[in-house]
Amino acid sequence: MILHIQAERSRIHMSDKLTPKIVVVIPCYKVSKQIVNVISRIPKLVSNIILVDDHCPEKTGEVVSKNINDPRVSVLTNSKNLGVGGATKVGYLQAIKYQADVVIKLDGDGQMNPEDIPKLIRVIIEEKYNYAKGNRFFTIKNVKQMPIIRKFGNLVLSFMSKLSTGYYEIFDPNNGFTAIETYYLTQLPLDEVDNRYFFESDMLYQLNLLGAKVLDIPLPAIYKDEHSSLNIWQSVIIFPKKHLINFVKRIIYTYYLRDFNIASVQLLVGSIFFWWGSVLGLTTWLHNMKNGVSSATGTIMLVGILIITGVQLLLSFLNFDMRSQKRIRF
């Protein structure tokens, strides 16, 4: 009952205002050439625009102050580089102070179309989702425009993100064009969210723990001559490790600390059987190869039964995890 009342309080707070307050946060690093055009295209329904200059060597904040005469714009400058996640969090905290109802995160490199902001807002205000994000892979046309290295990287990372965040229906997890209901933003442990390029994926992981409703929206990206600060090869090494850590934590929190159900048993027993069978089969094979003897029929059957049963139980757990709609609503 308490959880229901808290969720209802969030909905009532949103509906109290005839015109919800929308705030846009733009983390900036080496985007001085694109930022003026980006800000000029932000629709009038946005109440405040918070630009966070993340210790940019191009002094993007100063460029905006000199060239933009929009009373909605405020510039925050970090004394040191915090990363895109760290800069966004600085903007989020300021948006909370502005008493925003919905906070949009928009990159300053021109890849995202500010005119698509109403689509994100509609999902939060009218469709009652708590978090909305862009998806660049929805249409073939958009995928063709994406550089090949980004296609491959996003495909791999999207699969990992499904497991680590629990949002199996979400694709393109690193898309930075997002909208979040401020109530849920205040519930997030922002100090625990990654400060660098893993920020968006980490946000999804934290939102899952809160039971937030998340929706993908087809929003094409615009690729021109902008330079990405993301090192794709570093992400190939770093992101899988972070996804694995989040996956393990999510499973422990969801299936062993907050609840214990049939899926918890399937995962535990399935893991034991699979690894027991795999280790037994490998050690037996190596031993027999060394001594030049054949494996006993009983041993082969035992190994097969253990591995097959383990795989079946793990697949059943995965199916349960994918289909589970039970959320803890804060």
Domain contains 248: no
Domain contains 111: yes
Under the banding of pLDDT at 50, 70 and 90, the label for residue 1 is: very low
* Domain final residue pick, 215, 232, 249: 232
Q: What are phi and psi of 133, to 5 degrees?
A: -145, 155
Q: Any idea which of 143-157, 221-235, 283-297 has the lowest mean pLDDT?
A: 221-235
Pairing of strands 73-77, 48-53: parallel
Looking at the structure, tell me whether residues 208 and 133 fall in a common domain.
yes
| Cβ atoms of 209 and 189 closer than 8 Å | no
Q: Any idea which of 63-67, 169-173, 176-180, 248-252 has the lowest mean pLDDT?
A: 169-173
Under the banding of pLDDT at 50, 70 and 90, the label for residue 11 is: very low
Under the banding of pLDDT at 50, 70 and 90, the label for residue 53 is: very high
The whole-number pLDDT of residue 307 equals: 97
Residue 251 pLDDT greater than 50, yes or no: yes
Residue 185 pLDDT greater than 90, yes or no: yes
Looking at the structure, tell me whether residues 197 and 305 fall in a common domain.
no
Looking at the structure, tell me whether residues 222 and 272 fall in a common domain.
no
Q: Any idea which of 33-42, 100-109, 319-328 has the lowest mean pLDDT?
A: 319-328
Looking at the structure, tell me whether residues 166 and 211 fall in a common domain.
yes
Under the banding of pLDDT at 50, 70 and 90, the label for residue 4 is: very low
Domain contains 251: no
Looking at the structure, tell me whether residues 267 and 119 fall in a common domain.
no
Looking at the structure, tell me whether residues 109 and 19 fall in a common domain.
yes
The whole-number pLDDT of residue 66 equals: 94
The whole-number pLDDT of residue 295 equals: 80
Looking at the structure, tell me whether residues 272 and 174 fall in a common domain.
no
Cα 219 to Cα 204: distance, rounded to the nearest angstrom: 18
The whole-number pLDDT of residue 10 equals: 44
Residue 15 pLDDT greater than 70, yes or no: no
Domain contains 252: no
The whole-number pLDDT of residue 316 equals: 97
Q: Any idea which of 68-77, 261-270, 292-301, 304-313 has the lowest mean pLDDT?
A: 292-301
Looking at the structure, tell me whether residues 282 and 161 fall in a common domain.
no
Looking at the structure, tell me whether residues 203 and 319 fall in a common domain.
no
**Could you tell me the residue range of the domain that residue 290 belongs to?**
259-323
Question: Any residues with CB less than 8 A from the CB of 62 and at least 6 apart, and which?
Answer: 53
Position 210, amino acid: L
Please tell me the total count of domains within the chain. 2
Q: Which of residues 257 and 327 earns the better pLDDT score?
A: 257
Domain contains 92: yes
Cα 148 to Cα 215: distance, rounded to the nearest angstrom: 26
Looking at the structure, tell me whether residues 36 and 143 fall in a common domain.
yes
Looking at the structure, tell me whether residues 144 and 283 fall in a common domain.
no
* Domain final residue pick, 232, 267, 292: 232
Residue 326 pLDDT greater than 60, yes or no: no
Domain contains 214: yes
For the segment 159-167, the average pLDDT, to the nearest whole number, is: 93
Q: Any idea which of 100-104, 147-151, 293-297 has the lowest mean pLDDT?
A: 147-151
Residue 280 pLDDT greater than 90, yes or no: yes
Domain contains 249: no
Cα 316 to Cα 271: distance, rounded to the nearest angstrom: 12
Residue 21 pLDDT greater than 70, yes or no: yes
Residue 329 pLDDT greater than 50, yes or no: no
Output the domain CATH number for residue 79.
3.90.550.10
Cα 221 to Cα 219: distance, rounded to the nearest angstrom: 7
**3-state DSSP assignment of residue 203:** helix
The whole-number pLDDT of residue 7 equals: 39
Domain contains 121: yes
Residue 149 pLDDT greater than 80, yes or no: no
Q: List pLDDT tens digits, range 26-40.
A: 999 999 999 999 999
Looking at the structure, tell me whether residues 47 and 108 fall in a common domain.
yes
